[in-house]
Amino acid sequence: MALIVHKYGGTSMGSTERIRNVAKRVAKWARAGHQMVVVPSAMSGETNRLLGLASELAPSAAKTSYYRELDMLAATGEQASSALLAIALQAEGMESVSYAGWQVPVRTDSSYTKARIESIDDARVRKDLDAGRVVIITGFQGIDPEGNITTLGRGGSDTSAVAVAAALKADECLIYTDVDGVYTTDPRVVPAAKRLGTVSFEEMLEMASLGSKVLQIRSVEFAGKYKVPMRVLSSFTPWDIDLEEEAKSGTLITFEEDEKMEKAVVSGIAFNRGEAKISVLGVPDTPGIAAGILGPVADANIEVDVIIQNISKDGKTDFSFTVNQGDYQRALDLLREKVAPALGAAEVVGNPNIAKVSIVGIGMRSHVGVASTMFRALSQENVNIQMISTSEIKTSVVIDEKYLELAVRALHTAFGLDKSE
Ligand code: ADP
Ligand code: ASP
Ligand code: MG
């Protein structure tokens, strides 16, 4: 008997029929003798629908003063899907109970809309498991020290599931989704993408942080910190397939490096459409310029990604960086109204439609020339590179958003990742 955590994403919970299928699958695992905890997302589209209602009432709902209520609102999506799953399980003859984050409780800090899990109390859940119940815990949410409901950021149910698995010292955390594993790149963009049987924790961390939304990055961080065995697999297989076969399907996230294994130089391509670029032009090139520009941006709670500073000419330099598209206007206004006049910059310009494409692979550590293969493949397609950023196991380029799909496909082919058919 093992303790297993299942997580089901929005599409997997997308209708009563799909919820019934999830219930049948979970019941199969429970009847095989496992203790089961299930973490569902809201039904697909529900979180967007709820947040859309908020912005109808307050078009500037992105303001931080609204964040507490946005969390209160968005958390209802997971509460509904969790209760529906408990009802479906009971209708299947399984004893089952659902809990909202605050009832467990899942304790978080107070950063509304992107809270971090601090601890999870396992007492209540263990009591239910010992009594033979399937326990359902809402994904995406928790409670802060003052008793407010918080949410964990978009895609946060992955993190809830892994954190619950870590707290319960579960034998495995299975992330069920609408694709049958982690692919070399998003299979919806590159049909030739291949499923990976295993992917190393480090590569998965890079892929997630560089935009592969198949797993929220914090879930991968949690899995690494607590060594939670984790697998990504499909919820769209027939629920009654052989359990042993199902348990081995999909993609396993591995923590041990197998030295004997020949590493692919590039194992995946990640991308992020939602970025924007801002350039502060003609700033006096004096010490403290980066802090002078990025300090106020950070104080405004705007995350900065790729940064470049040009060499100076006549004592002046240009400074560019990328932010999330959602923060673009706020960042631009702040720089134009406050930062540029204070620093004596000539001009602030921006482009809200850029994308970042990254190649990721542990094998890049021991291979030279990987970046130049990347740049050549992009130049052959006439894709202009605006910014470059590298680390030991990834190289990212910032390009015009309209060339994104072309770039991803070209790189997928250039690094020999296309499936052979
Ligand atoms: P869920 O609702 O189950 O959490 P998500 O939509 O958050 O599902 O994540 C699954 C989606 O991630 C897939 O449908 C796929 O389009 C996308 N995706 C992006 N990159 C990858 C990748 N490398 N491998 C698999 N899926 C990916
Ligand atoms: N429902 C939340 C979202 O849409 C969390 C999740 O699905 O993981 O972002
Ligand atoms: Mg997701």
CA–centroid distance, 72 to ligand 3, in Å, is 20
Those residues with Cβ within 8 angstroms of residue 281's Cβ, 6 or more apart along the chain or in another chain? 318, 345, 346, 347, 348, 349
- Residue 264 confidence (pLDDT): 73
Q: Are 200 and 223 spatial neighbours (Cβ–Cβ below 8 Å)? A: no
- Residue 277 confidence (pLDDT): 97
Ranges 97-101, 172-176, 258-262: which has the least confidence = 258-262
C-alpha to C-alpha distances, 11 to 22, 24, 176, 290, 329, nearest whole angstrom: 11, 16, 10, 43, 32
Q: What is the pLDDT of residues 201-222, one digit of tens each?
A: 999 999 999 999 999 999 999 9
The atom number, within ligand 2, closest to the CA of 155 reads: 8
pLDDT beyond 70 at 250: yes
Q: DSSP 3-state assignment of 34? A: coil
Distance between CA atoms of 162 and 233, rounded to whole angstroms? 15
CA–centroid distance, 184 to ligand 3, in Å, is 17
Distance between CA atoms of 407 and 395, rounded to whole angstroms? 14
Ranges 30-34, 258-262, 317-321: which has the least confidence = 258-262
Those residues with Cβ within 8 angstroms of residue 72's Cβ, 6 or more apart along the chain or in another chain? 148, 149
CA–centroid distance, 182 to ligand 1, in Å, is 8
Q: Are 241 and 380 spatial neighbours (Cβ–Cβ below 8 Å)? A: no
Q: Residues 240-259: what's their mean pLDDT?
A: 91
- Residue 261 confidence (pLDDT): 58
**Average pLDDT along the chain:** 94
Ranges 134-138, 175-179, 234-238, 322-326: which has the least confidence = 322-326
- Residue 386 confidence (pLDDT): 95
pLDDT above 90: percentage of residues in the chain: 87
Distance between CA atoms of 153 and 303, rounded to whole angstroms? 14
- Using most ligand atoms within 8 A of CB, pick from 184, 213, 236 the residue to mutate for ligand 1: 213
- Using most ligand atoms within 8 A of CB, pick from 154, 164, 232 the residue to mutate for ligand 2: 154
Domains located in the chain, CATH noted: 3-256 (3.40.1160.10), 268-415 (3.30.2130.10)
- Residue 267 confidence (pLDDT): 93
Q: Which residue has its alpha carbon closest to ligand 2 atom 6?
A: 155
Q: What is the pLDDT of residues 7-28, one digit of tens each?
A: 999 999 999 999 999 999 999 9
Q: pLDDT grade, residue 420 (50/70/90)?
A: confident
- Residue 171 confidence (pLDDT): 98
Q: pLDDT grade, residue 258 (50/70/90)?
A: low
Q: pTM of whole model > 0.85?
A: yes
Q: Which residue shows structure tokens 């409901």? A: 149
Which alpha helices (DSSP H) does 168-273 contain, by range? Answer: 201-209, 217-226, 243-247
- Residue 62 confidence (pLDDT): 62
Those residues with Cβ within 8 angstroms of residue 379's Cβ, 6 or more apart along the chain or in another chain? none
Six token digits for residue 130: 């010992």
183 assigned ligand-binding residue: yes
The atom number, within ligand 1, closest to the CA of 44 reads: 2
Q: What is the pLDDT of residues 292-346, one digit of tens each?
A: 999 999 998 899 999 998 888 888 999 999 999 989 999 999 999 999 999 999 9
- Residue 254 confidence (pLDDT): 93
Distance between CA atoms of 390 and 264, rounded to whole angstroms? 18
pLDDT beyond 90 at 365: no
- Residue 256 confidence (pLDDT): 78
C-alpha to C-alpha distances, 335 to 26, 61, 64, 300, 311, nearest whole angstrom: 52, 22, 19, 11, 21
The atom number, within ligand 1, closest to the CA of 158 reads: 4
Q: Which residue shows structure tokens 């004096």? A: 286
Ranges 99-108, 124-133, 368-377: which has the least confidence = 368-377
- Residue 60 confidence (pLDDT): 64
Question: How many CB atoms are closer than 10 A to CB 162?
Answer: 31
Q: Are 315 and 256 spatial neighbours (Cβ–Cβ below 8 Å)? A: no
